[in-house]
Structure 1
Amino acid sequence: MYYYTSIHSDDYTKKVKSKALEQYLISHLEFEKVSHLTFSKEINGELIKIRGMHADEDGNYGFDTLDGIEEVNLIEIDLPQHIDAILESIIADVAIAIANEFSLKIDEDNGLN
């Protein structure tokens, strides 16, 4: 089972400025900044986290901190373990909004039905 939804370009070459992602998530989608490139929002009683990251061309990543990263090419939405149809629909809408805003795509194996 997948516990996150990934949003990125086909080959991970398209990058999004960290400041642009932050501004969009806070002002348009009403997420709160937890730390650099990490955001959260309570939706239907579940805490949803979004994280911007830098990945290689295969989507692999590894990091100790996101501090200092000014561009991201991968955005992940953590999915709660207990997800119902309503919450799944809301998270899907958030993922679609982010993908549309930054001309990215939602990974086909995204953990959502």
Structure 2
Amino acid sequence: MYDYISIHYHDYTNKIRTDILENYLTRSLGFTKVSHLRFTKEVIGEVVNLTGIHANLNGSYAFNTLEGIEEVNLIEIDVPRYTNDIIEKTISEIAVQITKEFSWIIDEDHGLN
């Protein structure tokens, strides 16, 4: 099990086109695309992974591949196993920037306190 931050529209109905998400993450937030809807960024020596996901209306999902997905309604940021205050602050800032850009929310059940 790992810690993660979930970011989504309040009822999962608002979706983001994958090309718009990719451009925002790579150009504005400095992430590197690893594969379709999977991104990574190094923060003070720790790797932060981010995944765009197409979930159902209650936020559940299951997938073998993200290939072919053209819109997402959930973003998960994996919190590295080893963190410190600076890493946590940076991840928090990333999450807040995403929520502001797309008018989404940080899920109260996952991630940031």
Alignment TM-score, normalising by the size of structure 1: 0.96
How far, CA to CA, are the matches of 1:48 and 1:66 in structure 2?
A: 19
- What is the Cα-based RMSD across aligned positions, in Å? 1.2
Moved over 4 A (4+): none
2:15–2:73 contact (8 Å) kept in structure 1: yes
- 2:4 equivalent in structure 1: 4
Matches within 5 A, 1:51-90: 51-90=51-90
CA shift, 1:2, in A, is 5.7
1:50–1:76 contact (8 Å) kept in structure 2: yes
Determine helix, strand or coil for the equivalent of 1:75.
strand
How far, CA to CA, are the matches of 2:27 and 2:58 in structure 1?
A: 31
| Number of aligned residue pairs | 113
1:6–1:77 contact (8 Å) kept in structure 2: yes
Determine helix, strand or coil for the equivalent of 1:56.
coil
CA shift, 1:112, in A, is 2.4
How far, CA to CA, are the matches of 2:71 and 2:103 in structure 1?
A: 15
How far, CA to CA, are the matches of 2:78 and 2:22 in structure 1?
A: 17
How far, CA to CA, are the matches of 1:32 and 1:57 in structure 2?
A: 28
Matches within 5 A, 1:1-113: 3-113=3-113
Gaps of 5+ in 1: none
